[in-house]
Each structure stands twice: as structure tokens, then as C-alpha cells.
Amino acid sequence: MNRLASKLLFILSILFLFSCSLSEPVEFYSPDAGFLQVFIKSDDLDTDINIFGVDYNISNQDSMDLLVYQGKAYDLDSNYAILYKNIKSWRQEEFVYNILDWSNNEGYRSFKIYESHVPPGNYNLITVGLIASVINVGPYRIPISLPQDVDGVRPIPVNFSISERGVSRINLSIKPFESMSRYQDTYVFDRMIEVESVEYFGQDMYDQIIMESDSLAL
Amino acid sequence: MKKIITVILIIYFQLFLSCEKFPPGDVESEAPNNPPNTTLANIPMNGATLYALVNFNWDGEDDDGYIDYYQYRYTTEYLFQSDDDTGSYYFTSTDTSGQLVTTWWKIDSTMIREWQSLTETNAVIAFNSLAVLNHQLFEVRAVDNSGNVDESPATLSFYTKQTQFPETEITSPLNNSDFLAKPEVDDWYKGIPITFTANDPDGNITEYAWRVDGGEWNWTTDTSVIIPPTAWAEPLEDEHIITVISRDDTYLIDPIGDSIEVEIYVPTFEKDILILDGTIEDASLPDFDGLITDEITDSAYFEIFGGNRGDLIVDDRDFARRRFPNFRTIRKYKMIVWVKDHFATVPYFAEESKNLQAYLHVGGKLVMIGSNIMQSFMDNSYYLSAPCEPCIVYPSKFSSGGWNWFMNKILHVNYGFVSDLIGNFNSAEGLNHYSGLEIRPDTAKIANIWPNYNKLSNIDVIIEQGGFTVPILKLNSDDDYVNQETCGIRYYGSGFDVIYIGAPIWHMESEDAKALGEKILEDMGF
């Protein structure tokens, strides 16, 4: 009887162990992506530049074309997601924004430079290609170059997370005039840029972005 | 079952009893540490005759430790050919008649190098080879982690032929050249550029060195350098000597090198304005009637640019005849006013552009006024290869390199063109801080300009100015092609200032010309 009970117990144990492996492991679950938005806006406090003793305040006539390209978001393991202009973009492209677009009532205009699917997780860095070629201020038209041996792609450390079907928004602030220092006949563009804030939105915003994307051209 | 257990216990007991000390032998005293050994690769071969730069590879082994580092040295025996059939070394060869010929070499002197340490197992060594033939004995030995040295180093015996010294030449500047210099560097002035070259008859040049006035050698691998102001002996304004040498791949240094003498002038700016009159008073002058003389135009410019003010020292010079002044002269002037009223091109303007650039880079100022200037600063080669009138047509791009660099880098025009030969200048109107000025042509001076439009032609029009440059004059014209385009600009430099007006000034109403002259003088700090 004891021998029979032992055999029965052994068979039940084997069956129990097998039954454990029948459920789906957690790591096999693939979550939906979230959205990462990146906005850039000139600092509203940086509105004038002195050229040869003359202060030139920002005006509607001024312009500075900032060329934005090659954005990426890096997670804690240095894996990266490529950032696109919008969620329907299928390749990275260059876009130009006049970061001196000024309104006396609202200050500098803010530009959404990326809106992209990104896997959920924790991130600590984005990189953005930022170069400019010319600034028009007052009566001047002055060429711009990056400092010698500086890469056009600028790393911007920022801790943020992406949640499933959530929206994370990074607001960047750039100082267009303070970033400039003169060398010979050009301004050297030091790209003083900082993360102004990181905002998080829920699925309502996620759905809204998808809805608005219907109007975007492929 | 009990029997089996009993047998196993007996076996264990037997094994225990059979145990001895392990390892066998005396472990109380330490074995002596053996020295390492060293092996040389068999390339190059023993007895070979080689170029003095030789690549060696070796290896070392240590049975009771590891190799810590290696040491090498070489011994050179300088040989000379002996007529006697005795000597330390000999070579045999066969002459044209098939006879065996033996050449004997004796040792003149010997030089033993110190041991050099290194951790690598290879080295490229330049052997001292001053004699016609040199016997070299290369030795390398390993040193182990206990400090034991291989007592029998690996050796290689071979011969090297005499190495030759490199020869160095300064290619620019030429001997007895003059320079304008200032005691400090800035955005524009970096120093005096020199270029040089060197040749090694039996090898390669690895480095160059320059020095000035017998100072320290400055080694470099570049063949062009800029000598900064701090390198020169005091006083800066003096005659100075530049010397360049080179070193080849066997570490032989050109014992003589190349030297030049240069004269450096430092700006004094003790005078105010030098008017360079580039006008040629001939048929190329609009409405030339034979009565317009150099004295007439000189007198007008002198008055326009403050010659009669009393507080300014103003001189003039006939550029068309005497060209650009030398550095000894030009360093005295704070500003050059370069005027040109005739509309024909003057290719020799370009010949002086480098001198003018040197003057500006040490802090000078330039006012350039006249028609068809854009075309006058074309490089000679371009002018000759593409004869045309006008060459500078809409929209001509002026780039920082090539034949039109002067327009871009000095006059600060990115895009521009020369207006038509048909008269199209009604007037010029001031812009920005020149607002309120109006420059009108003197109808008496332009009464009969061909082809009878009574208007000045060949006006320089600026479509896009360079950095830190503002428009100061715009053109009023019946010609829609140029109407309201910029014809005068002001450049605010970090090292020098420029005003460029693309219309002739002597042909203007005298009051307008004076007003413009006064404004220019005020704008340039006079």
C-alpha cells in the first residue's frame, strides 16, 4: 500500500511540474508602443544681440533657419529608437525651422520637431542633429557655423519614460542669441540648449495623435 | 552486503598506509631561478648589406617565470677599404674576366651604444652609418620577472652603407621679402606663413624644424607653418632670419638647412589717410574730353576725403602709375581710400590684392569707390582665359577661393554683378546709418557719355553682402534690372573695416560727393 502511495505521489508531482510550464511566460508579452514628442522653442528671455555696440532686439523681420535631422532616443541599455517627424513618416528627413519666429504677444514660436513611436521603457538620452547656416538680424545677414570639430548631432541628456499607449513630451529650449560668438565673418553657434520640461499624457492624447495623423500625408 | 563494506574499508586503509609526502623530494629549499633566453628572427640575414633603417623581430622564453622586458644595443665598426690583403672583413666578387676579386676592409673606429629597454618584440632601428661601409652588431636580450638577464643575447651581424644627409629648401617667402606684422594674433592675423620642402637622396624625410633668429628649433611634420609673433626676437620691426632643417628616417639631420632673411614692419598708423588714385585719365574715363587731368581728379579726392580739414594727415598717390606702396610706407596710414572713376577694367588691381590684404589684416581700413571694381579684381588667369566685357554678369557668385576671393573675403560681396554699359545710374540713396544722403551725378561731367544716355554705366551692384556687412547705398535707376539694388556696403570687421561703393565719385555733384566723403570719414572714425 505504501509502495502504491509513493508511486501515486511521484506521478502527481510530475504532472504538477508539467502543468506549471503550460502558462505563457511574462517575457513573451509584447506591449504597444507609446509616442514621444519633442518640441523646440527659443528662450523668450533671449531676445537681443549686440553687434558693434548696437543692440538689436528681436523683430518680425529676423530669421534663423535651424536645420533638424537624425533624432534618436536612447534607453538605459543604450538601445535606441529612431525619431521621425510624425507617426506616419517612414524615413528620417531634414526639416528647417525659423527659431526666430517671433510674436510680440506670444514670444517665440514652438516647433514640434519629432512625434514618433517609441517602445515603452526608461530612457536617459536623446540626440538631435541641429545646424544653422545663416542668421538675419537687423540689417545683417551673418553666416553661422558650428565650432570646429563639433558634430552636428547634439546629445541631450534627459531622463524620461515611455508608457504603453501613453504620450511623453520633451520640451527643449534653445538660446539663439546667447549661443553665438563671432569668429572672423561668421557666428560660431554653440547651441545652448536645455530640457525645459518633460510632460506625460495618457491614452486620450495617444488616440488624439492617431486621429490627427489621418490627415497627414504619407 | 556487510562483506562488500568490509572490502571497501580494507582498500581505503591500504591506500592510507601507502601515502607518502607529495610531491616527492625536498621542498624545504627553493630551486634557483633560471635566466630567460632570447631568439632573433632570421630576417634580415646574417652578413647582409642593408640600408641603415632595419626592422627586427625577436622573442623570449622563461621556463620559470615570464619575460618582463627586452634590451637591445648595437655596436658600429666604421670600416675603410684596405689595400693590403689583411683586415677584419672582406668581400669577394668576380670581375669581368672571371677572376675572383677580394676587397679587404679594416676597422677605423668602433662605437658601442647603451642598452635600450623596451617591452615590444620588434623595433625599427636607424643605424649610425657615417663611414662608406659600416659593420653593425645588433644584440637583443630578454629580462625576466625576477630581473635575470639572458647571459647570451641573440645577435645579428650585418653591414650598412653610408647614409646621406637630407637637403632642405624654403620655398616661400623669397629671401629679403618684406612683411607687415603685429605683436599679437587675432581673428585675422596669425603670423607669417612659410613653406618648405626637403629631399633625402637615400631615404625619406620624417620631420622638419624651423627657427627664427637663432632661437629654439620647432619640430613639425608639416611643410607649411605660420610663425607667430611671439617667436621673433625683439624688436619685431627688424631684419629677421628664418632657418629650416629636416631629418630623415635614419635620424640624419640636414647640417646646413636653408635660411632666408625677412624684413618685418609694424604698423604705426601715424598718418590718417592715403588716397590711391586708380583712375586712368584717358578715353576710358566717361565723357573724357582731353582736359581731365590727374591733377584735377587728385584735387577733388583730396578735398572729399578731408585733405583740407586741418586735423587730418591726408596723402595721395597715383596708383595707376606707381602701384601699391611698400609696407614701409603703407604701415603709416590708418586708412586707404582707393578710387577709380574710369569704367574700363584694371587687371593689375588683382596683383596688389595680397598686399592690400596684408595691410588690412594688421588693422588697416579700406574705402573702395568706383565703377567696374568687381571686374578689376579678377585674377589675371581668368581675365586672359575668358576675355569678356563685362565678365561679371548677373548673378555672379564670389567665393572665398579662386579668382574672385578678394570680392568675397575683403569687399564682402557674396553675389553681385556689373550693370550694363548702357547708362543706368540716376542716383544713389543712403540706407541704414547713411539714410538721408543722396548722391547724384554731375550732369556737366556726364553730358556726352557714349552711347548718349547721359548716365553713368558699369555700376557694381551687390545682390547679397557677406557677414557683418550692411547696405549703405541703393541705386535709383530707370533700368528695372538694377533699380533699388544695393550699390554700397559697409563691413564691420573684427580686425579691419571696409566700405565699398560701386559707383564713381568724381563724376558726382561736388556737394553730394563731399557729403558722402564726410559721412564715410565719420563712419570710419575720422
Q: Residue B361: closest CA among chain A residues belongs to which residue?
A: A184
Q: Residue A187: closest CA among chain B residues belongs to which residue?
A: B467
CB contact under 8 A, B470 and A139: yes
Q: Which residues of chain A lie closer than 8 angstroms to B494, CB-CB?
A: 182-184
B187 closest CB neighbour out of A51, A139, A183: A183
Q: What is the pLDDT of residues B47-77, one digit of tens each?
A: 899 999 899 999 999 998 999 999 999 999 9
- Report how many helices (DSSP H) and strands (DSSP E) chain A contains, helices first: 2, 16
Q: What is the pLDDT of residues B452-503, one digit of tens each?
A: 567 888 889 999 999 999 999 999 998 888 899 999 999 999 999 999 999 9
Q: Is the pLDDT of residue B290 over 70?
A: no
Answer whether B488 touches A (CB < 8 Å): no
Q: Which of A49, A140, A141 to mutate to test the interface with B (most CBs of B within 10 A)?
A: A141
Please calculate the CA angle A189-A192-A193 and round it to the nearest 5 degrees. 125
Q: Which residues of chain A lie closer than 8 angstroms to B187, CB-CB?
A: 182-184
Confidence at residue A127, expressed as pLDDT on a 0 to 100 scale = 97
Confidence at residue B20, expressed as pLDDT on a 0 to 100 scale = 53
Q: Residue B496: closest CA among chain A residues belongs to which residue?
A: A184
Q: Residue B471: closest CA among chain A residues belongs to which residue?
A: A139
Q: What span, in angstroms and rounded, lies between the C-alpha atoms of B430 and B501?
A: 11
Q: What span, in angstroms and rounded, lies between the C-alpha atoms of B144 and B60?
A: 9
How would residue B400 be classed by pLDDT, with cut points 50, 70 and 90? confident
For chain A, the residues whose C-beta falls within 8 A of a C-beta of chain B are: 51-52, 139-143, 182-187
How would residue A198 be classed by pLDDT, with cut points 50, 70 and 90? very high
Confidence at residue B170, expressed as pLDDT on a 0 to 100 scale = 97
Answer whether B185 touches A (CB < 8 Å): no
CB contact under 8 A, B468 and A139: no
Cis status, amide bond into B173, omega within 30 of 0: yes
The mean pLDDT of chain A is: 90
- For residues B430 and B464, is the Cβ–Cβ distance under 8 A? no
Strand partners for B157: B137
Strand partners for A160: A123
* Closest by Cα among B391, B356, B354, B357 to B372: B391
| DSSP 8-class letter at B350 | H
* Closest by Cα among B133, B175, B181 to B158: B133
CA distances from B211 to A26, B199, B226, B254, B264 (A): 73, 19, 12, 14, 16
Q: Is the pLDDT of residue B294 over 90?
A: no
Q: Which residues of chain B lie closer than 8 angstroms to A183, CB-CB?
A: 187, 494
User: The complex's ipTM?
Assistant: 0.78
- How far is the alpha carbon of B466 from chain A, nearest alpha carbon, in Å? 7
Confidence at residue A164, expressed as pLDDT on a 0 to 100 scale = 94
Q: What span, in angstroms and rounded, lies between the C-alpha atoms of B384 and B50?
A: 54
Q: Which residues of chain B lie closer than 8 angstroms to A186, CB-CB?
A: 467
CA distances from A64 to A194, B298, B401 (A): 18, 46, 26
- For residues B246 and B253, is the Cβ–Cβ distance under 8 A? yes
- How far is the alpha carbon of B488 from chain A, nearest alpha carbon, in Å? 13
Maximum alpha-carbon separation in chain A = 107
Q: Residue B432: closest CA among chain A residues belongs to which residue?
A: A139
- How far is the alpha carbon of B467 from chain A, nearest alpha carbon, in Å? 4
Q: Residue A52: closest CA among chain B residues belongs to which residue?
A: B492
* pLDDT, mean of residues B352-370: 93
Q: What is the pLDDT of residues A128-142, one digit of tens each?
A: 999 999 999 999 999
Here the cell at position B345 is: 577694367
Q: What is the pLDDT of residues B98-149, one digit of tens each?
A: 888 888 899 999 999 999 999 999 999 989 898 999 999 999 999 999 999 9
B467 closest CB neighbour out of A52, A139, A185: A185
CB contact under 8 A, A142 and B494: no
A182 closest CB neighbour out of B465, B466, B494: B494
- How far is the alpha carbon of B472 from chain A, nearest alpha carbon, in Å? 10
N-to-C CA span, chain B: 124
- How far is the alpha carbon of B219 from chain A, nearest alpha carbon, in Å? 24
Q: What span, in angstroms and rounded, lies between the C-alpha atoms of B378 and B401?
A: 12
Q: Is the pLDDT of residue A100 over 70?
A: yes
Helix (H, G, I), strand (E, B) or coil at A78: coil
- How far is the alpha carbon of A94 from chain B, nearest alpha carbon, in Å? 25
